[in-house]
Amino acid sequence: MSALVWNLFSFILALGILITVHEFGHFWVARRNGVLVKRFSIGFGKALFRWRDRQGTEFVIAMIPLGGYVRMLDDRFDPVLPQFKDLAFNQKNVRQRMAIIAAGPLANFLFAILVLWFMYMIGVPEARPVIADIRAGSIAAEARVGEQQQIVAVNGRTASDVRAVNLLLVEQLGRNEITLQLEHRQTGQQTEATLNTTTWQFDPDRQTIFDSLGIELMMPKILTSLAQVEASSPAENAGLLAGDTIVEINQQMINNWSELTEWIQNNPGEALDFSILRQGERLTLTVTPGQRQTADGFSQGYIGIVPEVSDWPEGIRYVQRHNPLAALQVGVHQTWQLTRLSFSMIGKFIFGDVSVRHLSGPISIAQGAGTTASIGLIAFLSFLALISVNLGVINLLPLPILDGGHLMYMVVELIRGKPVSEKAQEIGFRIGAMVLLLLMGIALLNDISRL
């Protein structure tokens, strides 16, 4: 199955699950509050499948899988006989309506907890955040962060694995300093290091959060030997084969993968002399990198190769597995951490600490779904939990077209004792739609620029 088809299938599967969860939240609470649900639709457009239950709700799976909705009886839009008025959404009191609207995002948060609970009962492969090296002149070097130390907390928040530390560091974007609690791997001695991050620059399209601080963790090494050469690529056209080891470019020694990629990316269209080892024999090949545009509009070279990767260092990799109660606690904690991070990142976008260039849209989500699905069940479930939390958070934003906007109007109604006027709501919906379309357009352009 091609990467495009696999990504598309994984995207539709992930989105279908998350939309169903979200809309089921609205549906379930609406029914518990005595509201007649006319339609429960997954997707928009032409109905592919439809059926009705005993209570008259039409269930639909539609052609365009980019959303969904629950259509409730509402006498502002539907002709309703007097004896059925109490089944209409708008006839319920404001607290009931708020519960129905809030149930969608809440369902996404509960789903994330359940997914994470299941994951940590099965067992999640993790890596200890042990420092292997510090880049000279970096933020970490200036703070005198040492090698062979494990990061155990970030600004007082504890973490035992790379993923957790990564999330905590991302949350610190925009701060002027970060305090790391460290524990030496051999001696167990604990120390603190305060990073001066006033000049910190992080580009997630080009580096990891650790790279941006000058920290190299103990992980498998990316080698200069080739695991794969892409078909019809500049590398294949030049005669490079899987198994080749690149040792020199233009008579300059290549010590690591970073040096190799720097040569390639900085020389698009320029012929380079590659000295390689092939089955013990030294050969020289001329390779001319192709050219492609980066998100910033610059030209960058590429040749179409995939490196080999070494094994994990001893003692770094482990499996985090818990009993059902402990796994549930981890699920709740991680869902809260992801929720806090999502709201924090929205604030950083608003105040300019994070560039809108890093917004991601459906293409990036599809690629992420496809990649995690190809890695395995645990990775795909982790992706589902992350996107579910993000979907819940986004829907709580006070934009009138989203659940959060409806809740905002209902809070005003609760305070004033009467609903917001139809005209004011209509103006708000239009503004909300424009803002949402603008953000979606930026995210989609960002996706295209990353292709």
Specify if 266 maps to a domain. yes
pTM (2 d.p.)? 0.80
What is the pLDDT at residue 167? 87
- Rounded distance, CA 186 to CA 236, Å? 45
* DSSP assigned state of 130: B
What is the pLDDT at residue 108? 95
Residues 227 and 296 in one domain: yes
Residues 206 and 266 in one domain: no
403 CB-contact burial (10 Å; exposed 0-12 / middle 13-18 / buried 19+): buried
* pLDDT at position 112 over 70: yes
Active site (annotated) includes residue 23: yes
pLDDT band at 3 (very low <50, low <70, confident <90, very high): low
Final residue in a domain of this structure, among 291, 320, 349 = 320
Task: Say if CB 127 and CB 316 are below 8 A apart.
Answer: yes
What is the pLDDT at residue 30? 94
Residues 214 and 315 in one domain: yes
- Rounded distance, CA 435 to CA 428, Å? 11
Domain count, the chain: 2
Q: Which tokens go with 210?
A: 């650790």
Specify if 406 maps to a domain. no
Q: Which tokens go with 258?
A: 């970073």
Final residue in a domain of this structure, among 271, 296, 320 = 320
Residues 243 and 161 in one domain: no
Final residue in a domain of this structure, among 259, 290, 320 = 320
Out of 62-66, 214-218, 235-239, 380-384, least confident range: 62-66
Specify if 27 maps to a domain. no
Specify if 42 maps to a domain. no
Q: What is the mean pLDDT of the chain?
A: 86
Range 12-18 average pLDDT: 85
* pLDDT at position 350 over 60: yes
Specify if 118 maps to a domain. no
Specify if 166 maps to a domain. yes
- Rounded distance, CA 331 to CA 335, Å? 6
What is the pLDDT at residue 247? 94
State the DSSP string of 22-50.
HHHHHHHHHHHTTPPEEEEEEEEEEEEEE
Residues 248 and 299 in one domain: yes
Q: Domain limits at 147? A: 124-220+311-320
From residue 212, alpha-carbon distances to 112, 131, 148, 354 in Å are: 29, 14, 19, 14
Name the residue with tokens 């009705």. 52
Q: In this predicted model, which residue has the larger pLDDT, 186 or 39?
A: 39
Strongest mean pLDDT among 192-196, 380-384, 418-422 = 192-196
Residues 164 and 232 in one domain: no
Residues 131 and 168 in one domain: yes
Residues 6 or more apart from 404 whose CB is under 8 A from it?
105, 395, 396, 397, 398
pLDDT band at 425 (very low <50, low <70, confident <90, very high): confident
Q: How far is CA 375 from the centre of its chain?
A: 16
State the DSSP string of 261-313.
HHHHHT-TT--EEEEEEETTEEEEEEE--EEEE-TTS-EEEE--EEEEEPPPP
Residues 298 and 245 in one domain: yes
- Rounded distance, CA 237 to CA 240, Å? 8
* pLDDT at position 294 over 80: no
**Distinct helix (H) and strand (E) counts, the chain:** 12, 18
Alpha helices (runs of H) in 314-418, residue ranges in sequence order:
324-351, 362-375, 377-395, 403-416
Residues 248 and 305 in one domain: yes
* pLDDT at position 448 over 60: no
Specify if 433 maps to a domain. no
* pLDDT at position 325 over 50: yes
* pLDDT at position 353 over 60: yes
Name the residue with tokens 């050969």. 283
What is the pLDDT at residue 356? 56
CATH number at residue 195: 2.30.42.10
